[in-house]
Structure 1
């Protein structure tokens, strides 16, 4: 059985936050917002930088939880966005992965990391209704695919479909 279908032992310890038990391979996610909020586990009275994501599920049927941003991941986002302000850390695509050698409390353990490299553009398909409609609106607004392709990748087949759907709407 492959790792994506197996159950990690830490799943038994339900957490309100994304953890290394949830990420089975490097995963590209889109940050919708980052807030400074009180620890939801109620184990501490600490406040954490907490990232929320546009994607609702990490895998089909599995809700995507928010992610606590430790100092390392916060610095990575600062560098990716060229801003030290969490208010500016939105609408950015990141790759989240498990680092097996994170130091925590004097021990080495698995921990989540945000890659310092920007992920490739997302591959857009007509199945993503809201994003597809946004791409069509951008195409109509600018009269070309240039602005659309600056944000997403689209196969040649889907480019032709997008152009056809936009021209059908005008006719």
Structure 2
């Protein structure tokens, strides 16, 4: 049985935030906004840097939750963006992964980390047939290139070609 089809024990605690129980492999996400927010678990009165993502689902049918940015992840975002201001972090592509060696007080546990390296965005063209077909299907479904360009890159000429091909097929 693969780890994707197994249930992490922490799922039972139903956190309002993204946790190591949710991430089964390094995941590329796009930050929509980061804001200073009160703790939704109501365990503390603390305010947290909280990242909300453009993607709505982590996996099909699984809602993507916001992520609390601890000091380590906040410093990583500062370095990735070149800005210490959380308002400047919107639009940043990040890779979130599970680090099994996070120190929390005297304990070592699993924790989420943001990779210090920006995720590689695949460049597609009509020659990459499967990716091109997927991009066309997404464009037809959504009526725009936003979802496509959040996952892959393509030249402006290929963007025009894709839109034209879709228009011709729908005509």
TM-score class, shorter-chain normalisation, is: 0.7 to 0.9
Deviation at 1:126, TM superposition (A): 2.4
TM-score, scaled relative to structure 1:
0.79
- Counterpart of 2:55? 55
Hey, what does 1:5 align to over in structure 2?
5
Q: Taking structure 1 as reference, are residues 60 and 134 closer, same or farther at Cα in structure 2, changes over 3 Å only?
A: closer
Q: Structure 1 45/152 Cα, relative in aligned 2: closer, same or farther at 3 Å?
A: same
* Aligned position for 2:136: 126
Match of residue 110 from structure 2: 110
Q: Which residue of 1 aligns with 2:129?
A: none
Superposition CA RMSD, Å: 2.8
Offset at residue 163 of structure 1 (A): 5.9
Q: TM-score, normalised by structure 2?
A: 0.79
- 1:131–1:120: structure 2 CA closer, same or farther, 3 Å change rule? farther
Distance verdict in 2 for CA 1:74–1:131, change over 3 Å = farther
Q: Deviations over 1:45-80 (max 9, x none)?
A: 000000000110101111000000000000000000
- Extract unaligned runs of 5+ from structure 2: 125-134
* Contact kept? 1:95, 1:115, Cα under 8 Å: yes
Which structure 2 residues correspond to residues 1-171 of structure 1 after superposition, within 5 A?
A: 1-121=1-121, 125-129=135-139, 133-134=144-145, 152-154=152-154, 161-162=161-162, 164-165=164-165
Whether the aligned pair in 2 keeps the contact of 1:39 and 1:48 (CA below 8 Å) is yes
Q: Distance in 2 between matches of 1:56 and 1:123?
A: 23
SS in 1 for 2:144: helix
